[in-house]
Every structure is written in structure tokens, then in C-alpha cells.
Structure 1
Amino acid sequence: MKKTTKYIIITLVVLIVLGAAAAALILTSPKDSEDDASSSSTVSESTEPALIDKTAEDVKNIGIEDLAADDSYTIIPTETTTSSGDTEQTFTIEGWDDLDVLYSNVKSLADRLYSITPTKKIGAVEDLSEYGLGSGEGYKITMNYTDGTSQTFTIGNKAGESSGSYMLYEDEVYIVPVSTYLKQSKYDFLNKALIAIPTPTITATDGTETDSTSEINSLHLSGQNYPEEIQFGLSDDEVLAYDITEPIYAGMNSGKIDDFVKQLQNVTAAGVLAVHATEEDIAKYGLDNPVAVCDYTMNDEHHVIKLGDKTGDLYSMMVDDDTTIYTITDSAVTSWVNIEVYSLRDGFVRLPYIKSVSRVTLTSSTGTDVYDVTRIENEEKSTETNTFYDLEVSKDGKEINYDYYQPFYQMLLAVSVLNEEIQEPQGDPILTIKYDFFDGRKSEEIKFYADPASERRAVATLNDQPTGSVRMSDIQKILEAKEVIAQNKPVKGDEEESTTSELESAAE
């Protein structure tokens, strides 16, 4: 016999023996054990028809009771209008007609409740609590139909051995598919995107549109965190886009605006605490005495946001006239919930743009100097959208070299604010700077007073409002330069003087 043939015969014999052994195991093994969920249950793959077999048109309402949380709500049919103007049948929460309901989510839950086919039947069990169906457990569902009939069942824990959840219906347990929305809070059916202010667009001559920059027309902060309320808004100034008007008058750091725009243009709640809030609800969550109130207008759209008590990293919140109490994360309101005016303001007392100022008047103990400015259009540098001006400066009718005036003007602007300490001035000002403008807007006047508490400090006011503490050395430099520029001589610069792009832009 050939070696190959011998190996084939041996292999066949082995296969026959293994097959016989397998057959013996099958014939002698015990029957499948009952489902692990209950030793007393009768388990079989479901071949039963649908347990709940209705259509949306059959539903009058659906009562849902969270037995563990002792909470309930009712789903009812309703009609909504699509974006195309058509009417479609859907579902909503009873009593929430005035709220922004996510109808598609409610419909998703309702669709799974009026039509239920089990994936598996477990049968009668001794201990329903093993399935989350014991006393005070699960979600009791009451289906009420338009023909006057009803059906009741309970949904319990998620099934361990397959997808779906346990369902108790007519004293027997099944595994059925369940919408994820059933085991969420009823408040999850509310839209939490509360504010969405459109970004303005610019239309080009060819009709194309591009996004412009969002603007905060005005903003007012009040509440427990603001014993001195803060107010700011758009400025007439060409250098700084915003002015702080309360509790001081000052230019605002334009870089801070981005934080406000980011958090106020789109406001999304983290959760919901109550709908149709009563006075008791409002007091319960600290909204009768808010920690912070932001009243603002952005892109000409007005909103009011109130923040109440904070639990963990969540504030309670109400928006505009909505009587719903929401929650919002601390990180979503950091730009405005608890800030100091000093952190918002620009670092200088004032930065009026040099080409907007028609006259500068300086008054000190040595007298008053008035510098008149004339603007002359430079046609070569001007465009259709922007007029470029050259400046001519005179004092008492005599020309002042602009190359001397411009660095002196920058010196006037370079007085920086040292801290947020606001104090009333005492005595007479040691220097007054007054700016008049070409466009006829109200003059601005800055005054500097000696600080009786420190020889190295001076107190600054802007339009007679205290605006902060400044270096006396900065004022002394201006007083010295005042006598030099009056003689049409160049002022001595300070190589160590620090400037910012805003300061340089204002003086160039």
C-alpha cells in the first residue's frame, strides 16, 4: 500500500470516531437550562404577535409615569408646520404648547409605544424586582385610544442578554425594543439652544455675501456680583470700538469683546430645572435675587440672561421672558458672570484718534495753550471708501511743525492707568487736556490731580468722572513738553516708553 493511501485511510477513521463521539454527546446531554434571569421563569423565543398594535391615528394620549422618581407627563398628538409650510402629524408634551419642544424626539418615543413587538418572551416570574419591574420601579405606560379603550404596561431594566428592556404586560415579562428617550428626563424634550444671534453679512457688488463682524451694541451687568453695575457699548472713537460708561468712563479693551461675543451670540443650556416657573420656583433657585444679570443687544437683537444659585459647576438660569428655569455651565458664562471693570478697560486714560481731533487745549499753572488742527484731503492716498487727511497745526495763528506735534500728541495719550482704585480728586487739577472733534461730537476733557496719599501717583478723571490712578512722572513729562512744543520745538522722547498698537494707531 502506498504511504499516501495509508494516511488517507487513517484520517477517515479518525473523522468517523470523532463524529460518533459528537453524536453521543448530543444524545446524552441535558436539555438547555432556563433563562438565568429567573429560576422559576419559562423562557422561549417569542413567536407571539405584537403586544401593542396601534397606529398614530389611534392614540388619544400616552401617560408616562416614572415610578422611581415619582414624576409623570402625558404625550398627546399635535400638528406642526414644516419649513415648506405643510402640516404634519406629530406628538408633544401636554401643557407645553408655549414651549420650544423637540417634536421629533417626542414622536420617536410615541412611535415605539403604540407599536410593540417583543424580541423574546420570558413569561411569568416570581421576583419582578430582578427585572426592574417591582413595586415603585420602572416606567408605567398607559395607552389611551380614540375608541375609548386603553392598555397598561411597565418598562423595567435594560435586558442583560440582548438589546431592549424588560416589559411587564398582563402579568408576563417580555424583552422589547425601547426608545432611548423613555429613560431620559421629560425636560430632555425641550430645545436647549436658547439664543442664536445671526452674524451680519456684507453683500458685494456682484451679489456675493460674506460674514461681517458681530457687534455688541450695548451691555449692562448687574446683580449680586455687581454692586457697581457695569455698562459698555459702541464708541464713536476710531481707535477703540467700545466705551465703558459705568461705573467709570473709559475706553474698553477691544480684545475682551471676542469673549463676550463668543458666549452671548449662542447660548445653550445644560439642562432644565422647571417649566412654567412659579414665584416659589424662582426663589428656590436664587433667581429672585440673581448673582448676575446680563442685559445686552447684539447685532440689534436684545436679550436678558439671569443667573441664580450655583451648584457644582452649574448656574440656574432664566432667559428673556421664558418662564423655564435652565442650568448652564460655569465655563459658558465666564466672560461676564463675575468680572471687574479694570479687567475690561483699555490700559490708557483715553485714545482719541489724532485725525479726528480739531483742537487740543492744555491748561496748567503756566497757562493755557490751544492747538488748532486743519485737515486737508490727500487725493492721491484717498479711496472711494476711505478719505486720507494730512494735518496742519497752529497755535495762536502760528504754524506748529507737525513732526513736532505728532510725538507730543502721542505723549498725551501714553498716560496709562495703574490699577482699578477709583478715588475722588482733591484740590485743583495740575493739568487739563481737552479734545474737540471734527465731527462735532461732545468734547472730552481729562484732568490730572495730585494724589495726597502718594507723591508718585496722580488721580485722573475723564469728563469729570474718576477713572483711575496714573504715574505722576507721566504728567511731569507732559508739563515739561508743553513748554517746549509751545515754542515750536521738538519734544524729547523717551526711548523706554512702552506703547501698544492701539496707542500708535491713535497718534499716527
Structure 2
Amino acid sequence: MKKTTRNILIMLAVLVVLGGAAAALLLTQPEEQEESSSSASSSVTEKVMEKSTRDVSVIKVENAGGSYQLTPIEEPETETSASSETDSSSSESEKDVAFTVKGLEDYDVNTVDSSSAARSVLDVNASKNLGEVTNLEDFGLSGNGAAKITIEYKAGGSDTLVIGSDAGSSVGKYVLKDGVVYVVSGLNEKLLGGELAFLKTDLYTVADLMQETTDSEGSSSQTKAADILYSMKLSGTNFEKPIEIIHDSSKMSGYMVTSPVKAEAGTDSFSTLVTTLKTLSADSVAAVGVTEEKLGDYGLAEPFAQIDFDLNGEKHTLKVSETDADGNRYLMADNSDVVYLIAASKVADWAEAKLMDLRMSYICLPNIMEVSRLKLTLNGTASEYDITRTKNEEKSTESNITYDLTIQSGAGKEISYDDTYQPFYKQLIAIAVLNTEEVEYSGEPVFKVEYSYFNGNADSVVEFYAVEGQDRYVAMLDGVYSGVVRKASVDNVTALLDKLGSNEAISS
């Protein structure tokens, strides 16, 4: 056979093989398309329910959490709507209706949630149709695990859905309707809980404190000011004695503890507490309609902690129970009969507060520039210092006035501000309390400090009394117990009195 003839035969054979392959491809192509079409059709959703909210008279829910009803919120009929023709208000007839929870109308129902729950059972799409099944228990559609939803219509008739367990690897839950089991997603999870899940848990938000400011051109505007806690009282079984704090603008910190001791407040812990009080949200509602007789059921007859406060002119009362095993507390607010459940951490800043964390450790902190007279009495012997202040024109600005102080002793001796008076004053106000434990003391004060002020405010008086048999002194502020201090701290200051009187330099 010639070489050319052989090549032609080989090429023909290849074409035959290729043609066969092409034919095979053409023959198998419809099957693949058919499979693809079949796969696509299996993902198409099936409409299970499609009802208008305007047609519903009630949605009844029965589940492990109890039973309740979602009812439409009927809008009041206005003269305009009453006089309009029915056929001319088709858009109005299609308007969605909101739902509330029957029996909870007097409480703060989150109608967004209740309406969403209602709509989720009126417009139901299934991703799978499993048909009729022999054992409903396998799908969580019988027994205590199931939730039964009955929708009754204004025109008569009803539909019933049973919600079962999660649908395995699929997204959604098993739902039974008219004997057929579907896989459905989009159902509102609150349908599986109790009616109290639809109540709002935001208790309050205190409004910002605003102040009016005027610029250099005389234009006034409202600006946000710092929050002011005008008063606060902590009580309950967690506190041996109630702690009371008030706002006092004459004090450096702006706050005074008035009971069970007297001292300035304004610590970091106190500032955090004020911030915590600005707004409060619970985690869930535990009960409604709770009477005085039932408070004990929630540990609130004698609360673990109670706070009564006035923040920015808005007053609130909160009380909480002891912490449960899950780290939560029961809480009631103001005059409401609702009991909430809240994480203990959300109220810890006030419910678990300690007096020593809220008060300044120092007894009295007058601003050195505000003191016009200082009287120091040691074991009955007094020394007095009169202070004159003069505006420093060079350092002062329009918004901030700087003063120079001139100090003169009662004996007529001028005392150096920088070398003697200021370093002594720093050590004087730095005497700190160890604790607020009440101890026995008697007799006259060993050391007494009296502050008078340029602005005419009442004098501040600090007294130190010896505690018999201990190296401690009791500190009193304005005649009220303040705390226990180290004897050495007071003695270190009194040892400087001679240097102060003779104008000797004192190390800071």
C-alpha cells in the first residue's frame, strides 16, 4: 500500500472516532441538561401559607412555655376613612396590620417583634416538601417539643401549623400543615417561647443635661453639659448602713458623702457608677403583675441592694435580688410591677459598691486658692493664718483667673507661699483614712483644723481624736464621723507647725 493511501485511511479512522465521540456527547447532553433542570426545580420554594394580616382575628400559640394570643391592633376609624368608599380605598385594605399580645396591653409590648412573629406564620414558604410521614415524633412535631399555631380569620375558618425541631443539615424547621411535613425557614423564634418574650427590656435612658452658652457676639446655643447626680442613696441587705451622696458644687470633687460618714466623693469608681446609671436595659422579663406579697418569690421583699437617685433631674428607684447560680439578678424599677432578669455585671457598680470605693480617702480637700483663713489648734493651743489673694493680671485670662496669695500669721509674720505655706498645706490635706470602722474615742480633739473661704461658704472643720490603746485617730468632718487615720500621719503634720509659724522652709 502506498504511503499516501495509508495516511488517508488513518485520517478517516480518526474522523470516525472523533465523530463517534461527538455523537456520544450529543447523545448524553440532554440527560445532563435534564439533571440540571431537575436540580434547579428541587430548590424552588413551595408556598405553604399566604394570608393577609388584615384577615386575621387572632393567632393562638401553644408551646412548652405556655399559651398566649397575638391579636391585631385595630386602628381607630377616622371620619375620613368612615366616609370613604370601600372600592376607592384598596390601598388601605392592603395595609399591613400590627399585632400585640392579648392581656399585656397595659405593658410595654415590643409590637415590632409581635407583628414580625405574626407575619412569619402568615407568609410561609417551604424549601422541601416531605409529604405525609408516619412518625411525627422523629421531626419534633408531637409532644412537648412542638409549638402549635392556630390562625383564626375574621371571615371564619382557621389554619393550624405545628412547628417542630430543626431540620437537620437544612436551614429551617420542620412544620406540619394539613398532614404534610415541610422544611420552613424564616419563622420568628419568639413563637417558641412565652408571651413575656414580647415585652421590651429597655427600662430607661436619662436625658442629657443641657446648658445655654453665649458666644462673644451674643448668640446663645444649647450645649451638652456634664451629667450631675444630684442625690443617691444605697440601701439593702448588702449595706450595713445606707450610703448617701449629694451633689455639692462647693467641693473640689463636686460630691459629698453625707451618710454613714462625711467625706468627699468623686472617685473613679463613683464616676463609673454615675455613667452606669445613665441608661439601663434588662435581659428578659421574668414576671408581670407582681404584688407586694409575691416579692419574696424573687428575693425582692428585702432586696440585696436598692438605689434611689436623681440624675440630671430625673429620679429612679432600682432594686435587685442576690445573684443566682447563672450570675443573674431579679430587678424591679420605679413603681412598676414588672420583674426583670438582668446580668449581675450590669448593676454591679452600685449593687456591690463599697463605701471606701466611693469616698475620697482624704478627709477634706479645700482648694488652696479658695481658703481665706486657716486656724490650727494642737492640744488647745491655736495658731491662725490670714490669706489675701490678688489677681495676677499677667497670668489671668478671660475664662481663668489666676491669683497670687499672701499669707500672714496671727503674730504678724509673713509666711512664704512657695517655701512654707504650700508644702505644709499639701501635707495637711493629704491625711488619709484607713477605714470607716467605728471605734470608741473620748475627750477633746488632739488636733483641729478650721478652713474659712473667700466665697463665704460655711467653714469646714476637721478634728482628730485619739483612740485609747491604739496608734490611730478618729477623724471628724464638721462634727460627723469620717473615718480612722494613722496617728503617725497626723503627728507628721503637727510636727511642722513650728516651722510654719516661724516661716521655715518645708520640704514637699
Same fold (TM over 0.5): yes
**Pair 348,309 (structure 1): closer, same or farther in 2 beyond 3 Å:** closer
- Equivalence map 1:384-463=2 (5 Å): 384-396=398-410, 398-403=412-417, 404-454=420-470, 456-463=471-478
The answer for the alignment partner of 2:79 in structure 1 is none
Q: 2:482 aligned with 1:467, yes or no?
A: yes
Q: Which has the larger displacement, 337-346 or 395-404?
A: 395-404
How far 1:203 sits from its partner (Å)? Answer: 5.6
Give the conservation status (yes or no) of the 8 Å contact 1:131–1:156.
Answer: yes
- Deviations along 1:422-447, whole A, 9 cap, x unmatched? 32422221111111222332222111
Equivalent residues in 2 for 1:300-449, closer than 5 Å: 300-311=313-324, 312-365=326-379, 367-396=381-410, 398-403=412-417, 404-449=420-465
- Displacement, 1:185? 4.2
> Structure 1 residues 320-329 or 5-14, which shifts more?
5-14
Is 2:196 the partner of 1:181?
no
Distance change (3 Å), C-alpha of 1:340 and 1:22: same
CA separation of 1:225 and 1:7: change in aligned 2, threshold 3 A: farther
Instruction: Say which SS state the counterpart of residue 284 (structure 1) adopts.
Output: helix
- Residue 302 of structure 1 aligns with an amino acid whose one-letter code is K
Displacement, 1:114? 2.8
Query: How far is 1:46 from its partner?
Result: 9.2
Matched residue, 2:204: 195
Partner of 2:55: 58
Tell me if the contact between 2:150 and 2:158 (Cα under 8 Å) persists in the aligned partners. Answer: yes
The answer for the alignment partner of 1:39 in structure 2 is none
* Corresponding residue to 1:76 among 71, 79, 104: 71
SS in 2 for 1:398: coil
Give the TM-score of the pair, scaled to structure 2: 0.82
- Structure 1 residues 24, 215: CA separation in 2 closer, same or farther (over 3 Å shift)? closer
CA distance in 2, matches of 1:271, 1:93: 16
Q: 2:114 aligns with which of 106, 117, 140?
A: 106
Q: 1:224 Cα deviation (Å)?
A: 0.7
Q: Does 1:168 align with 2:172?
A: no
Query: 2:269 is matched with which residue: 246, 256, 261?
Result: 256
User: Aligned partners of 2:288 and 2:460: how far apart in 1?
Assistant: 49
Instruction: Tell me the residue number matched to 1:484.
Output: 499
Structure 1: unaligned runs, 5 residues or longer: 27-31, 33-43, 82-86, 496-508
Distance 2:306 2:188 in 1: 39
If the length of structure 1 is used for normalisation, what is the TM-score? 0.82
Equivalence for 2:138: 130
1:4 and 1:222 map into 2 onto residues whose CA distance is 103
Output the amino acid matched with 1:305: L
Higher helix share goes to which structure?
Answer: 2
TM superposition shift of 1:315: 0.7
Q: Conserved in 1, the CA contact under 8 Å of 2:141 and 2:165?
A: yes
Mind listing any 5+ residue stretches in structure 2 that lack a counterpart? 1-6, 77-94
Equivalent residue number for residue 95 of structure 1: 103
| Per-residue CA distance 1:65-101 (angstroms, 9 max, x = gap) | 11x33x01111111689xxxxx984111112223222
Are the counterparts in 2 of residues 436 and 444 from structure 1 also a CA contact under 8 Å? Answer: yes
Contact 1:432 1:446 in 2 (8 A): yes
Residue 498 of structure 1 corresponds to which residue in structure 2? Answer: none
Counterpart in the other structure of 1:139: 147
> Which letter maps to 1:186?
E
Percent identical across equivalent pairs? 30
C-alpha distance in 2 between matches for 1:25 and 1:241:
81
* Residue 10 of structure 1, CA deviation: 4.2
Per-residue deviation at 1:491?
4.7
Say which of 228, 232, 238 aligns to 1:225. 238
Change (3 A) 1:124 1:292: same
Verify the 8 A CA contact 2:232 2:244 in the aligned structure 1.
yes
332-341 or 3-12, which deviates more: 3-12
CA contact (8 A) 1:220 1:231 kept: yes
Please tell me whether the aligned partners of residues 481 and 491 of structure 1 are also in contact (alpha carbons under 8 angstroms).
no
Deviates more, 1:338-347 or 1:164-173: 164-173
Letter of the structure 2 residue corresponding to residue 110 of structure 1: A
Q: 1:423 to 1:249 in 2, by over 3 A?
A: same
CA–CA distance in structure 1, aligned partners of residues 473 and 163 of structure 2: 74
Displacement of 1:341 in angstroms is 0.9
Match of 1:502 in 2: none
Q: Rate the CA distance shift 1:17–1:232 in 2: closer, same or farther, 3 A.
A: same
1:397-418, Cα deviation, whole Å (9 max, x unpaired): 7253242322222232121222
Distance 1:179 1:263, change over 3 A: same
Against the structure 1 CA distance between its residues 97 and 387, is the aligned structure 2 distance closer, same or farther, given a 3 Å change threshold?
A: farther
| Distance in structure 1 (CA, Å) of the matches to 2:353 and 2:271 | 15
Residue 501 (structure 1) aligns with: none
**Separation of aligned partners in 2, 1:280 and 1:366:** 59
3-state secondary structure, aligned to 2:348: coil
Q: How many residue pairs get matched?
A: 470
User: Which stretch has the larger CA shift, 2-11 or 114-123?
Assistant: 2-11
Contact 1:60 1:144 in 2 (8 A): yes
What SS class does the counterpart of residue 447 from structure 1 fall into? Answer: strand
Moved more, 188-197 or 167-176: 167-176
Cα distance in 2, alignment partners of residues 165 and 364 from structure 1? 82
Moved more, 17-26 or 224-233: 17-26
Whether contact under 8 Å (2:264, 2:364) holds in the other structure is: yes
Deviation, structure 1 residue 267: 1.2
Secondary structure, in 3 states, of the residue corresponding to 1:336? helix
Write the deviation string for residues 421-474 of structure 1: whole angstroms up to 9, x where unpaired.
Answer: 3324222211111112223322221111222132x3222111222222222223
Give secondary structure in 1 for the equivalent of 2:208: coil
Q: Which amino acid aligns with 1:412?
A: L
Is the Cα–Cα contact under 8 Å of residues 63 and 74 in structure 1 kept in the other structure? yes
Q: Which moved more, 1:14-23 or 1:345-354?
A: 14-23
**Contact 1:422 1:467 (C-alpha < 8 Å) held by counterparts:** no
